[in-house]
């Protein structure tokens, strides 16, 4: 099954939305295989957002991402990367569709609640960036037979 990495950003943690957002991901049927609170620093953010370091908004982004600790989560599911990106909505919360996490909880193109990996390849790189192997757990929840048909897993 595919894995993806999400970060609940300071815009989520600082607004008391950790439970609400985590609950949506759980209720969807994604399995949490790793979860922890960490304080990000500039070094890891330069790596994580390497595609954005030259952008004028980068310093603001880094400062915003260090404003509170974040929750890092590894989620597992069939097509987990695509499913979670769809649940997040587009980057700018003002443009994200209602019903998505950003569409329901964000009014910003920067303070947009959640990070989610954008490809299975990047997901594995990002999981390794934020989790040690012993912090990840491979288990099947009891209700897995109600989440998927046998031919889907």
Residue with the two structure tokens 């989440």: 147
Question: Catalytic pick from 93, 115, 116, 123?
Answer: 115
Q: Which is nearer to ligand UDP, 48 or 76 (CB)?
A: 48
* C-alpha–C-alpha distance, residues 97 and 90, integer Å: 8
Among 34, 45, 112, 131, binds ligand UDP (CB under 6 A): 112
Q: Which is nearer to ligand UDP, 51 or 132 (CB)?
A: 51
57 scored as a contact of ligand UDP (CB under 6 A): yes
DSSP readout, 37-67? EE---HHHHHHHTGGGTTSTTHHHHHHHHTS
Q: Which stretches of the chain bind Mg ion, using CB under 5 A?
A: 118
Mask of contacts with ligand UDP, 5-44, x by CB under 6 A?
Answer: ----------------------------------------
Residue 20: which of 96, 109, 105 has the closest Cα? 105
* C-alpha–C-alpha distance, residues 46 and 54, integer Å: 10
Residues in the chain: 153
Asked about 115 being catalytic, the answer comes back as yes
Active site residues: 115
Q: List residues binding ligand UDP (CB under 6 A).
A: 49, 52, 57, 61, 91, 109-110, 112, 115, 118
């Amino acid at each position: 099954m595919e894995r993806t990495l999400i970060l609940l950003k300071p815009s989520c943690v600082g607004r008391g939305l950790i439970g609400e957002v985590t609950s949506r991901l759980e209720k969807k049927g994604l399995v949490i295989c790793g979860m922890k609170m960490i304080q990000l620093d500039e070094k890891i953010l330069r790596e994580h957002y390497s595609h954005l370091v030259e952008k004028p908004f980068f310093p603001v982004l880094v400062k915003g991402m260090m404003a509170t600790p974040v929750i890092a989560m590894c989620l597992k599911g069939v097509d987990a990367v695509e499913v979670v990106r769809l649940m997040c909505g587009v980057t700018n919360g003002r443009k994200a569709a209602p019903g998505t996490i950003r569409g329901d909880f964000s009014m910003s193109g920067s303070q947009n609640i959640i990070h989610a990996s954008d490809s299975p390849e990047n997901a594995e790189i990002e999981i390794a960036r934020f989790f040690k192997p012993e912090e990840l757990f491979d288990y099947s929840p009891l209700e897995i037979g109600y989440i998927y048909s046998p031919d889907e897993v």
